[in-house]
Amino acid sequence: MRWLWTLCLMAAASASAPIPAMAGERRPNVVFIAVDDLNDWVGCLGGHPQAFTPNIDRLARRGTLFTNAHCQAPLCNPSRSSVLTGLRPSTTGIYALEPGIRAVASLKDRVTLPQHFATHGYATATFGKVFHDGSIPPAGRAREFQVWGEVGRMPMPREKFVHTPDDLRAMDWGAFPDREQDSGDWKIANAAIAHLKGLPRDRPFFLAVGFRLPHVPCFAPKAWFDRLPEASLAMPAVKPDDRDDVPTFAWFLHWKLPEPRLSWLRKADQWRPLVRAYLASTSFMDAQVGRVLEALDADGRAGNTVVVLWSDHGWHLGEKGITGKNTLWERSTRVPLIFAGPGVSSGSSCGRPAELLDIYPTLVELCGLPPRNDLEGHSLVPQLRDPSAPRDAPAITTHNPGNHSIRSERWRYIRYADGGEELYDHRNDPHEWNNRARDTALAGVRRELSRWLPARDAAPAPGSMSRLLVREEGIWYWENQPIVPGEVGRRAPKNGERPTPDNTHRSPGAKPSEPGRP
């Protein structure tokens, strides 16, 4: 019976320890590329006629491009938390820039995407921004990835190039630094390439690379600006009265933020410089993506590596009168999503709705790992094999409790926490200029889309702060300050402080259509 006892011990050990790759096993590697604040201004998505992204475009030609992919939240921390946990913000309660996932009681032991791969024999490593900055304390990092490398912080000039209304240090754009090697994204790519070259060949790897551009500050060396003369820039299509037919609550999601309004950009002659900087920094980031992909090719393992590239959310550049994210419109939710490698059809484009939440189950299936029954996304493997394969589920984006967007192949339906609605027909109105929520002929469309609204709207997780919108006793609060159209905060109350006449005041000149900003 000793052999039976030994067998039992071996089984118990294998249940708790990572499963090593078996000899001769051809389990695919994974290169997981995250991009920060990249909207559809990518060559293969056609979002801007002067977008120059040859490396992302080349990856799309190698694999399958999802042309109707959307984030789960238009903000870094909740979006990335959703991708890595496989859960919606409306399930986790993570809506703001804090807390991180391990600070939420229900998520303390949640198995994240890289953990699932590590448990099944993968060597995991991360470079740059994959988890939201600061969301994982240093003491807990080894639990999430086996290797944490270069984070690639952006160097800052001695003086800001642009002085915006709030004048935050990061809210800046221009030609900087002089040398590519001094840029954060160049350092991230360099460190990831060095790590790739040193990886053993007898074990599959999961390599996460998170690029920071085109997130502000939109910096890139001068050469990347020179290829985009400011005078010949194509500017975003903007409708002057675009927001006249949207609910007032739409402003609440973007109440008082450091990203400047289009009205300020025009007054300061900074709209063209910002558009130019966004395009230049996107092209520079794309060059770094290219360096990593070229290193993978040179390493000889590209044929057995699944590459997925995604952005955590989009970014407005004047559309709807604003810049930044934090909205439920197309410019803020639509993102690049590309898969390439074994099990993926090449040169394909899929217009079915897709969510970033789908990345976790898709990678698990592509790599032959044990499936999980606790993921809220849907595997995209059917569409990766045949881009015309049906998909019933739409893409759902959430920003703060009770605010959701439902995006199907043709329609976008938005329901705000106060019941306000928007409905856009993307077949005939790709700019979302005509809100048709009150069109009685489309009542059936609204009903069909509304059935996809999340059944659960979790309260904000304890410790939630920064870009948080909540309701207390009938009053909506933005960062602890009450929202009243026409009222502008003199200063933001400190944590825990209730608004008082001392820290708020009525501004007679403030219009509901331009709350909290000149």
Is 76 one of the catalytic residues?
yes
List the beta strands (DSSP E) in 356-419: 395-398, 404-407, 411-415
Query: How far is residue 320's CA from residue 318's CA, in Å, rounded to a whole number?
Result: 6
Q: What is the pLDDT of residue 472?
A: 87
Does 7 score more than 60 pLDDT? no
| DSSP three-state, residue 97 | coil
Provide the pLDDT confidence category of residue 509 given band limits of 50, 70 and 90.
very low
Please list, in sequence order, all residues whose beta carbon lies within 8 angstroms of the beta carbon of residue 447, skipping any fewer than 6 positions away: none
Count of domains in the chain?
1
Q: Which of 48, 116, 120, 132 is catalytic?
A: 132
Q: Which of 44, 71, 76, 218 is catalytic?
A: 76
The rounded Cα 23 to chain-centroid distance in angstroms is 37
418 within domain boundaries: no
Does 38 score more than 80 pLDDT? yes
Provide the pLDDT confidence category of residue 508 given band limits of 50, 70 and 90.
very low
Does 13 score more than 90 pLDDT? no
Does 513 score more than 90 pLDDT? no
Give residue for tokens 């979790």.
458
Q: What is the pLDDT of residue 484?
A: 74
Q: What is the pLDDT of residue 185?
A: 98
219, two tokens: 């910096």
Does 16 score more than 70 pLDDT? no
Q: What is the CATH number of the domain that holds 219?
A: 3.40.720.10
Percentage of the chain with pLDDT > 90? 85
Span 56-70, pLDDT tens digits: 999 999 999 999 999
Mean pLDDT of 426-455: 98
Q: Tell me the residue range of the domain where 161 lies.
A: 25-398
Span 93-115, pLDDT tens digits: 999 999 999 999 999 999 999 99
Please list, in sequence order, all residues whose beta carbon lies within 8 angstroms of the beta carbon of residue 279, skipping any fewer than 6 positions away: 41, 48, 50, 51, 52, 228, 233
275 within domain boundaries: yes
Does 502 score more than 60 pLDDT? no
Does 492 score more than 90 pLDDT? no
Provide the pLDDT confidence category of residue 487 given band limits of 50, 70 and 90.
low
C-alpha distances in angstroms, 373 versus 78, 94, 113, 363?
A: 21, 21, 13, 14
Please list, in sequence order, all residues whose beta carbon lies within 8 angstroms of the beta carbon of residue 342, skipping any fewer than 6 positions away: 28, 303, 304, 305, 306, 366
The per-residue pLDDT of the chain, averaged, comes to 90
Span 206-245, pLDDT tens digits: 999 999 999 999 999 999 999 999 999 999 999 999 999 9
Neighbours of 77 (CB within 10 A): 26
Q: Which residue has the higher pLDDT, 503 or 488?
A: 488
Mean pLDDT of 426-444: 98
Query: How far is residue 422's CA from residue 437's CA, in Å, rounded to a whole number?
Result: 5
Q: What is the pLDDT of residue 485?
A: 61
What DSSP line would sit under 223-292, residue for residue? HHHHTS-GGGPPPPP--TTGGGGS-THHHHTTSS-SSPBHHHHHHTT-HHHHHHHHHHHHHHHHHHHHHH
87, two tokens: 């859960």
424 within domain boundaries: no
Does 515 score more than 80 pLDDT? no
488 within domain boundaries: no
Closest CA to 75 of 333, 358, 458: 333
Spatial contact of 97 and 467, defined as CB atoms under 8 Å apart: yes
441 within domain boundaries: no
Span 244-256, pLDDT tens digits: 999 999 999 988 8
Q: What is the pLDDT of residue 20?
A: 40
Q: What is the pLDDT of residue 367?
A: 98
206 within domain boundaries: yes
Report field, pTM of the whole predicted structure over 0.85 = yes
Does 501 score more than 50 pLDDT? no
Query: How far is residue 514's CA from residue 242's CA, in Å, rounded to a whole number?
Result: 13
Query: How far is residue 43's CA from residue 59's CA, in Å, rounded to a whole number?
Result: 11
Rg (CA), the chain: 23
Does 420 score more than 60 pLDDT? yes
Provide the pLDDT confidence category of residue 158 given band limits of 50, 70 and 90.
very high
257 within domain boundaries: yes
Query: How far is residue 239's CA from residue 219's CA, in Å, rounded to a whole number?
Result: 28
The b-or-e profile of 184-221 (16+ CB within 10 A means b, else e) is bbbbbbbbbbebbeebeeeebbbbbbbbbbbbbbbbbb
| DSSP three-state, residue 313 | coil
456 within domain boundaries: no
